[in-house]
Amino acid sequence: MASTISIDRFIELIDIYPAIDVRSPSEYARGHIPGAFNIPLFNDEERAIVGTKYVSEGRQEAVRIGLELVAPKLNHFIDTLNSKVAQKNILVYCWRGGMRSASMSWLFGLAGFKPLTLEGGYKSFRRHAQASFEKNYKFLVLGGMTGCGKTEILKKLKEAGEQVIDLEGLANHKGSAFGWINQLPQPSTEHFENLLFNELRLLNPMQPTWIEDESKSIGSVFIPQSIFNQMVNSPTVVIETDFQSRIDRLVNEYTSCEKQYLIDSVKRIQKRLGLEKAQRCIDLIHTGKLAEAIAITLEYYDKTYKYGLDQKKIPPKNFAFDGISNTVDELISYRKSLKY
């Protein structure tokens, strides 16, 4: 029989042992423990059949139909696990730490593996992750107008050994109406939270962490309210870059994408741009005048960002952009000077 472990112990082992999520594919897709791979006991259709049987005829009949569905797949489960892991110690979880994880752990144990089952399942992980958002973090918020190079600066800060949380990287979105272009599909908000927790748990709480200035939503996902509140109340530095340099950076970023993607993005904000400006912007994209089109959209985004800065509890400190390396050095020096 597999051993059951607490969520705290599970988190300690997640970077050492492979984790297997035995829930259905749709449950896994909606959100899972980062790094876990899916070997579903039931597919989505089978799970619905078992659930319906449980409601209509009770637990015994649900177990019976479940066994009928699973029996032909037992070798497949073991073959799949063997193809994915190179060690015998494994972690297993389902939704609530019930029959699905117990059954699969029993099977994996018969095959020579040493499974540890998560007490309370994925549900306990979600409670643990959400509780972590209530902790106090020493954030340093990196701000600046669209196109000022914040993403590249964050990357270089991390390379320099600074603690960094890349929210846009976790969200697969760059924040604006154009932020989805050249990005992978966004995770659900649930899984974004899981990914964020996975980053936060690795931080040294005694050291400040750089995090990019964002609104509450990044594309279709939302920052946890407690984390967002801390960002609003944390020290902010603003990178100041001249208007033309910002346009040049954005032109370079979006030149390779299809024009229709840009046009579709403009249409998303046409009411806020104004219908006349939006149409002018679209016409410029059609004719290949991307720099002029970007200049129009920046007028809107600059105004929006200035409003966001006004909501900060601590007055931001401005840094003139002086090349990536010099700017990163200045930011690190500033971080070291803070009694934070």
* pLDDT digits 0-9 by tens, 51-104: 888 889 888 888 899 899 999 999 999 999 999 999 999 999 999 999 999 999
CATH at 104 = 3.40.250.10
Is the same domain home to 124 and 158?
no
What percent of the chain shows pLDDT beyond 70? 100
> Pick the catalytic residue: 94, 148, 257, 281?
94
b/e map 171-207, b = 16+ CB within 10 Å: bbbbbbbbbbbeeeebbebebbbbbbbbbbeebeeee
Q: What is the mean pLDDT of residues 30-42?
A: 97
Is the same domain home to 102 and 239?
no
User: What does the pLDDT read at residue 310?
Assistant: 81
Is the same domain home to 17 and 93?
yes
What span, in angstroms and rounded, lies between the C-alpha atoms of 271 and 275? 6
Is the same domain home to 220 and 97?
no
Give the pair of three-digit tokens for residue 69. Answer: 């569905």
Reply yes or no on whether the pLDDT at 147 is more than 80. yes
Question: What DSSP string describes 2-58?
Answer: -EEE-HHHHHHHTTTS-EEE-S-HHHHHH---TT-EE--SS-HHHHHHHHHHHHHH-
Given 77, 99, 129, which residue is the final one in a domain? Answer: 129
Of 254, 256, 249, 297, whose CA–CA distance to 153 is shortest? 249
Helix (H) or strand (E) holding 143: strand 139-144
Count of domains forming the chain: 2
Given 129, 152, 172, which residue is the final one in a domain? Answer: 129
| DSSP class of 184 | P
Is the same domain home to 51 and 146?
no
Of 10, 16, 21, 15, whose CA–CA distance to 101 is shortest? 21
Reply yes or no on whether the pLDDT at 201 is more than 60. yes
User: What does the pLDDT read at residue 7?
Assistant: 98
Q: For residue 283, give its domain range.
A: 133-337
Which amino acid appears at position 194 of this protein? Answer: N
Question: By three-state DSSP, how is residue 244 classified?
Answer: helix
User: What does the pLDDT read at residue 176?
Assistant: 85
Q: How confident is the model at residue 1 (pLDDT cuts 50, 70, 90)?
A: low
User: What does the pLDDT read at residue 138?
Assistant: 96
Is the same domain home to 116 and 191?
no
The runs of H, that is alpha helices, within 85-205 are 99-110, 121-132, 150-159, 167-171, 189-200
Active site residue 94: yes
